[in-house]
Structure 1
């Protein structure tokens, strides 16, 4: 099919040309004397994105899913109780992984499209007077439903309960795109993956550990080998890794961190918010709804669009891909066939995101979903034009 594929799933995301070029390197010795000149600044700049000065960051040749396991296995012991909420596919998978590690998982079912019930979280922690709950697991941005949770409010609920539980956050589809402040919000472990806001191929699990989390590893008895942070602590101190890293991904990460920090994290967050609002205006103009049931939960990295009940979202996705070379995210598990997802994170601007809106609209029209042609992009572009940065007049 002529032309490039328009990739608008919520991960993997589009890779900037500068990052692609940075990864195009010959292989080199990862034990060479000057290798720390690459590794040490990476770990320091990663702390800037996680917004932590007190914590320590780690880079594993793995995935976000492995990041969940790294967080749990390095700080907890079999039989420990953790508290979580199931409100989407990825919160579900983290719960499942915790159980497989031998942890006792207490979780509450939440309707998909909603977020963490903060009042019930606080009440449950207050009721745990014996402090049996050792950790709270929160998915910051539930990619399956386009729901973002209020992490400062979660921390406030934990503090209001006077509970010592560790606070773990799945930030795979948020860190590097949405506001995330590890130290300020009292987050003990943040988990990210390279293939979303960091604009890289999949293959790196990126984590930040607080000092409290690092202390917890001293008594953790979950079995671990390849995913043991102790080995990283030992070798990272000298600028090395305990085993062979993915050198091209490290060079790509150096460039992606450079791009994020050059733009400025506050500007990155604002760009994602502005572009996401354009998508939401388009969805409203189509006469459709988001899976996220309240504006307080709207995600700035992914919108899950609910199709009318007499239609199947998989037909929209199929048509968009084979007719217009547009990749949209599928509905997962409980929302399969009910939603299609537009990922709007990473390396994108108004014109690139416009292709996702126009292609989605054409595919929906093709499968018979009634909407006014051109309504979506008109609404989105109006918002983007109204909020566009001011440019200097031509002289």
Structure 2
């Protein structure tokens, strides 16, 4: 086994690297989760999470993965035999569909090519045609981690409203929240699903549901069973900063610190940073002569860039070589694009030098693997970063030779 010196470059699109500040915040003794000290922590993270979702509605925090938060969204709002509308934007939209089907939900699954976000015209057409309002929810993935394509959630809400349809808007923002702009209240979202290991920069282990009044009212009459996932059972003790069962205490310490980091930078600055890094990554890919999987510029993800390998070259073999030679993990292609793409994550605590280092590893990997490309992709990325400096950079200062 190769022994590497220096840091490991974790450039997958989640779990994202955990900042030192967050690691230190979690390095605490476990405390009594029925104590006044814990109540202070609980209230801080429950209220702080609302600021990240941009909502005044409740945010429920589960000791779970994002998959658990998916299930919570379904079992609190839908009933067996209900019909919902979903769009095939990629691997994770497909998995959410499969979960819904296991609960006896009938899914109208609009096919897609995995190379763009949601077509809101199709959503409006489907809802307008549903005169009897059989469709109970529109379920959309905000940032499709498997493809590097985002969907305009505000535009989805506009399509629902234009069709004058009462369907719930349920959004998976697992990899979007905290990295790509998300506005729960402004966009009229009813249920938003997320987790800890992406934009929150935490280890895996926390799942989130943000819920509107409309969704909460639906939960009072829907017919799917739940116990662990029941919103109302969570909300009762949450009112005082507590949980109905043992919470992930040390992850909550980390969450409090992560929220502080995001707010110190400013959410708009966080989103701008991710957009800037994504643009630089795409510039490198284009210079190399390779193809970004997402074909629609308005849908380009700020969270990751999925890159198509040239025909005849296996993405997984290339990723293995990069890991062994340069101690960098790149994201794999999933299901339909397995072996065809690799994914460069640029989310969370990622900055210009992190990205340039990652892109250098990608380009050196091309050379080592014999992948045809045009050299100089890193320079192309650097040019983008130089032309669009970070908001707090002092760009007018010049280095004076002495």
TM-score after normalising by structure 2: 0.96
Residue 243 (structure 1) aligns with: 245
Q: CA deviation at 1:326?
A: 0.4
Matched residues in 2 for 1:58 and 1:87: separation?
Answer: 26
Find the partner of 2:45 among 24, 35, 42.
42
Ranges of 4+ aligned residues in structure 1 off by more than 3 Å:
392-395
Residue 212 (structure 1) aligns with: 214
Per-residue CA distance 1:281-336 (angstroms, 9 max, x = gap): 00011011111011111100011000111211112101111111000000000001
What SS does the corresponding residue of 2:344 show, helix, strand or coil?
strand
Find the partner of 1:259 among 253, 258, 261.
261
Residue 111 (structure 1) aligns with: 113
Residue 14 (structure 2) aligns with: 11
Question: Where do 1:308-323 residues align within 5 Å?
Answer: 308-323=310-325
Residue 55 (structure 2) aligns with: 52
**Contact preservation (8 Å) 1:56, 1:209:** yes
Find the partner of 2:34 among 31, 36, 40.
31
Residue 370 (structure 2) aligns with: 368
Q: CA deviation at 1:261?
A: 0.7
Per-residue CA distance 1:204-246 (angstroms, 9 max, x = gap): 0012101111111100111111111111111101110000011
Question: Which ranges in structure 1 are unaligned for 5 or more consecutive residues?
Answer: none
What SS does the corresponding residue of 1:35 show, helix, strand or coil?
helix
Q: CA deviation at 1:393?
A: 4.0
Matched residues in 1 for 2:203 and 2:46: separation?
Answer: 19
**Contact preservation (8 Å) 1:282, 1:377:** yes
What SS does the corresponding residue of 2:110 show, helix, strand or coil?
strand
Question: Which ranges in structure 2 are unaligned for 5 or more consecutive residues?
Answer: none
**Contact preservation (8 Å) 1:330, 1:341:** yes
TM-score after normalising by structure 1: 0.98
What SS does the corresponding residue of 1:355 show, helix, strand or coil?
helix
Per-residue CA distance 1:31-58 (angstroms, 9 max, x = gap): 11332111112111111110012x1101
Matched residues in 2 for 1:5 and 1:45: separation?
Answer: 31
Matched residues in 2 for 1:304 and 1:251: separation?
Answer: 33
Greater alpha carbon shift after TM alignment, 338-347 vs 230-239: 230-239
Q: How many residues align?
A: 393
Residue 381 (structure 1) aligns with: 382
Greater alpha carbon shift after TM alignment, 17-26 vs 32-41: 32-41
Find the partner of 1:2 among 1, 5, 16.
5
Query: Does residue 85 of the first structure (1) align with residue 87 of the second (2)?
Result: yes
Matched residues in 2 for 1:116 and 1:359: separation?
Answer: 33
Residue 200 (structure 2) aligns with: 198
**Contact preservation (8 Å) 2:289, 2:374:** no
Matched residues in 2 for 1:34 and 1:196: separation?
Answer: 27
**Contact preservation (8 Å) 2:26, 2:250:** yes
Question: Where do 1:246-325 residues align within 5 Å?
Answer: 246-325=248-327
Matched residues in 2 for 1:208 and 1:185: separation?
Answer: 13
Q: CA deviation at 1:87?
A: 2.3
Find the partner of 2:67 among 51, 65, 68.
65
Matched residues in 2 for 1:146 and 1:133: separation?
Answer: 28
What SS does the corresponding residue of 1:260 show, helix, strand or coil?
helix
**Contact preservation (8 Å) 2:16, 2:347:** yes
What SS does the corresponding residue of 2:318 show, helix, strand or coil?
helix
Q: CA deviation at 1:114?
A: 2.0
What SS does the corresponding residue of 1:318 show, helix, strand or coil?
helix
Q: CA deviation at 1:273?
A: 0.3
Q: CA deviation at 1:127?
A: 0.4
**Contact preservation (8 Å) 2:175, 2:199:** yes
Residue 359 (structure 2) aligns with: 357
**Contact preservation (8 Å) 2:64, 2:205:** yes
Residue 336 (structure 1) aligns with: 338
